[in-house]
Chains A and B, each alone.
Chain A
Amino acid sequence: MTHVSEHSAGGFPRIDWLGLDGLLVRFGDALSEPANRAALALRHAVTREGWPEVEEVTSALVSTYLRFDPLSADGADVRARLAKLVDSRDWMAEPLPGGRRLWRVPAVFGTDLAPQLAEAAELAGVTPEQAIAQIAATRLRVQTIGFAPGQPYLGELPENWAIPRQTALTPRVEVGALCVAIRQMTLFSTATPTGWRQVAQTALRLFRPESETPFVLSPGDEVLFEPVERSAYELLCAEGPDGGAVAEVLA
């Protein structure tokens, strides 16, 4: 049980109960590439362990969560095993999990579809053309899926994109909207209000509840946005829910 007290005393990684039925391992209190990679790696490791009491495992930006049935499992025992696994290696030095994919997603930047491109570019200190070039040149990692079903947090953009969220919400962005804030992007899977600024629109539907593959992206996947003309948008929509996006498995 020494593990438990060490992990609870402050510093990272840190293990805490989350509710009666959950445990949370945090690798930091700020977003960093190693901490995100650690959270993904631990999540895959817990899944591989196959502990029968564990009903669900997931990861957020820099944390890993597991849920168990508190009435049938001994929570202290689950926690002790988790602590032992956390102690077993330096998770910040672990590689990304295998089976990841690289997605190339056509996107219409600016125009009437994404009217905040100029405003976002100005906050990032670049012209709209430079903004498009910077975003298109960045391989963005799916850091986690959250907020809405199938919706990724993508990162990380160059430092000049550390722009704040808007103080007022945009009343509605459509499914497939590509939005930016604090060096991260998100690709909306549902139509929703948002404080993030929309810089592009894609025809990719990331949540398809009635289909065989309801969820498209997985944490660890990478995404490249490929600028296309406004006139291409309707054609992309006609291509179906993929909206022209293609994926290849990363080695």
Chain B
Amino acid sequence: MSGALIVHKAGPAMSLQDLGRPGLLSRGLSRGGAADRLALAEGAALLGQGSECAALEMAGMGGVFEATQSLRIALTGAPMRATLDAAPLVWGASHGLRAGMRLEIGPVLAGIYGYLQVGGGFAASEVLGARGAHLSAGIGRVLAAGDRLAVGADAGGETGLALPQDDRFSGGTLRALHGPQTAMFSSDEVARFQSTRFARDARGNRMGVRLIPDGAGFHSRAGLSILSDIVVPGDIQITGDGAPMVLLSECQTTGGYPRIGTVLPCDLPRAAQAPAGAALTIRFVDRAEALAAERATANAVRALSGRLTRLVRDPRDMRDLLAYQLISGVTAGKTEGG
């Protein structure tokens, strides 16, 4: 065991998350896992470790933390105001955290879900093959002040690295595929759906986000009386009031609302990270375009470690510099440009 991260203060919806538990649909358990899986991959690249490591997911608001011994951390996902012993920390970057230092993560500046990752990952015990919480299924729980989160053994590596900021934290266009129930909607209705500008509703959680259309709601020809069937993350279900709901990782495994299509997996981080009021549109693509988009995202994830840049450091900020050298164990010049 290499120590722990103490939670002194916690926002209202903070939990451990990883890549979830795929393969249990037949048991009624959806995959779950981080709302923004890309953020896990970014943190993994920053820390030079696998993206299967469990991370702290913070919805809307961070918390106050202290390490019991020196840790490497990475801050990814929705940018939040962060300080280390009152000195500002760059988001989307890795940093050193020495024992006793006070890490404060404040409100989100864009997006919804910010992530705090640690070298070695959080060492919570596995339940059904994963360490993360599945809140709607009652696996794990929301974290609170007083929690001590054990940290796994860190293979080590540098800190002070950064990734370019992504644009997925303010809405945009979600690409989607037609699905088994798209034909329940008239072609006019599907066309209107694509040309509609939606605002992300304030209601939303790890199960799904509701979108408010700027015009009339949407209705299937089959009405609402359809038989429950398999639902998957990304499915766009049209609820009783005609507003679409994009299902996320912690959705139910079956559902009885008609679904107009399914958002591509590679666009789910954008859906999950759209803050309340953000403008979203949905564009249907064919399978070839969807596959190309998914492949491009997978390639970009693989290339993340090649996009790391070194944080420019102010030598007058000795505390940060000390932490940096203490923990990384290598000098900045050693991998310049790497």
With A29-B227, A70-B294, A207-B138 known to touch, is A20 a contact of B265 (CB < 8 Å)? yes
A58-66, A116-124, A128-136: which lies at the interface: A58-66
Q: Which of B178, B232, B235, B254 has the most A CB atoms < 10 Å from its CB?
A: B254
Q: Is the CB of B28 within 8 A of A20?
A: no
Partner among B25, B227, B234, B294 whose Cβ is within 8 Å of the Cβ of A58: B25
Q: Is the CB of B232 within 8 A of A146?
A: no
Chain B positions 219-252 with a Cβ under 8 Å from a chain A Cβ:
226-230, 232, 234-235, 252
**Binary per-residue interface labels of chain B (254-293) against chain A in the complex, 1 for a CB within 8 Å, 0 otherwise:** 1000000010110000000000000000000001001100
Q: Is the CB of A55 within 8 A of B22?
A: yes
Instruction: Judge if A159 is at the interface, Cβ distance under 8 Å.
Output: no
CA distance A84 to B181 in the complex (A): 23
**Binary per-residue interface labels of chain A (1-35) against chain B in the complex, 1 for a CB within 8 Å, 0 otherwise:** 00000000000001011111110101001110000
Instruction: Judge if B153 is at the interface, Cβ distance under 8 Å.
Output: no
Instruction: Judge if B177 is at the interface, Cβ distance under 8 Å.
Output: yes
With A60-B254, A148-B137, A189-B28 known to touch, is A22 a contact of B232 (CB < 8 Å)? yes
Q: How far is the CB of B327 from chain A (nearest CB, A)?
A: 35
Chain A hits for B229, CB < 8 A: 24, 26, 60-63
With A70-B291, A147-B28 known to touch, is A207 a contact of B137 (CB < 8 Å)? yes
Q: How far is the CB of B17 from chain A (nearest CB, A)?
A: 16
Q: Is the CB of B252 within 8 A of A148?
A: yes
Instruction: Judge if B127 is at the interface, Cβ distance under 8 Å.
Output: yes
Q: Report the interface size class on chain A.
A: 35 or more
Q: Is the CB of A19 within 8 A of B252?
A: no
CA distance A151 to B30 in the complex (A): 13
Cross-chain pairs A/B with CB under 8 angstroms, 23 sampled = A14-B180, A17-B177, A18-B180, A19-B179, A19-B265, A20-B264, A21-B265, A61-B227, A61-B254, A65-B230, A67-B25, A71-B298, A146-B28, A146-B230, A146-B253, A150-B27, A153-B228, A209-B128, A210-B127, A214-B128, A215-B27, A215-B28, A219-B26
Q: A24-B229, A75-B291, A147-B252 are in contact. List 13 more A-B contacts (CB 8 A).
A: A18-B179, A18-B262, A19-B177, A20-B177, A20-B287, A24-B180, A26-B229, A29-B227, A60-B228, A71-B294, A145-B27, A148-B137, A215-B27
